[in-house]
A = this chain, B = another copy of it.
Amino acid sequence: MSSKVKLGTLPLIYPIPIVLVGALVDDRPNFATIGDCGLVGIRPPLVSVSLHADHYTTRGIREHGAYSINIPCADMLVVTDYCGIVSGRDVDKSALFDVFYGEIAAAPLIAECPVNIECRVVEQVTIQHRQLFIAEVVQTHVSAEFVTDDGERKRIADLGQLAPIIYALDNRYYAIGPQIGTGYQEGKAYRPE
């Protein structure tokens, strides 16, 4: 066995998805860049985001029980990083993007992001100063150029085209790499020794 080094309590999960969480705060759309988010399930469709309890965005999500997840592409890196540096308390971030709405009035969506997910909070968990908002997906919007429709079903472009911004706890951003396989196929013929 290769030797291991102990790093203490570092929550070293990777890759971390970088998303812009949208909420209405004081009746104004606000967007915060976070990596503390994830898939909770597909059926039912559940996601989660976690924020500092004192975060400006947190107040809006608490008040309205709703938020949006907007996934930027790599060419939005500068403005996305900027939205993680400045607070909506100090800067009107609604002016940075072309904002639109779907079914939830308190979930502002960013037109420039290829994917926008409208989320309604179903559970809240407070752990020390972290606030976890578990939500059901109400509607997902994808920019038309990333969807093909063969009549039978709508297919989403691959990650190479969606070009997400990926983060890790080395504080670096990364691009996506090439496809390396298909789910539930690669291990199909595997037989343990």
Q: Please list the residues of chain A having a beta carbon within 8 angstroms of any beta carbon in chain B.
A: 1-17, 19, 35-42, 44-48, 50, 69, 71, 74, 77-85, 91, 95-96, 98, 100, 102, 111, 115-117, 122-123, 125, 127-128, 130, 132, 134, 136-145, 147, 149, 154-156, 158-160, 162, 164-188, 190, 192
A48-B38, A186-B173 known; A143-B3 Cβ under 8 A: yes
Is the pair B181, A173 in contact by a Cβ cutoff of 8 Å?
Answer: yes
- Identical chains in the assembly: 2
Is the pair A4, B139 in contact by a Cβ cutoff of 8 Å?
Answer: no
Q: Which residues of B contact A144 (CB under 8 A)?
A: 2-5
Q: Which residues of B contact A179 (CB under 8 A)?
A: 172-174
Is the pair B176, A181 in contact by a Cβ cutoff of 8 Å?
Answer: no
> In the complex, what distance in Å separates the CA atom of A134 from the CA atom of B40?
11
Is the pair B184, A140 in contact by a Cβ cutoff of 8 Å?
Answer: no
A1-B100, A48-B38 known; A9-B136 Cβ under 8 A: yes
Which of B9, B40, B71 is close to A139, meaning CB atoms less than 8 Å apart? B9
Between A and B, 15 residue pairs with Cβ closer than 8 Å are A5-B149, A7-B141, A10-B42, A10-B140, A11-B117, A12-B140, A14-B164, A15-B15, A44-B128, A48-B132, A81-B187, A127-B134, A156-B169, A175-B177, A176-B176
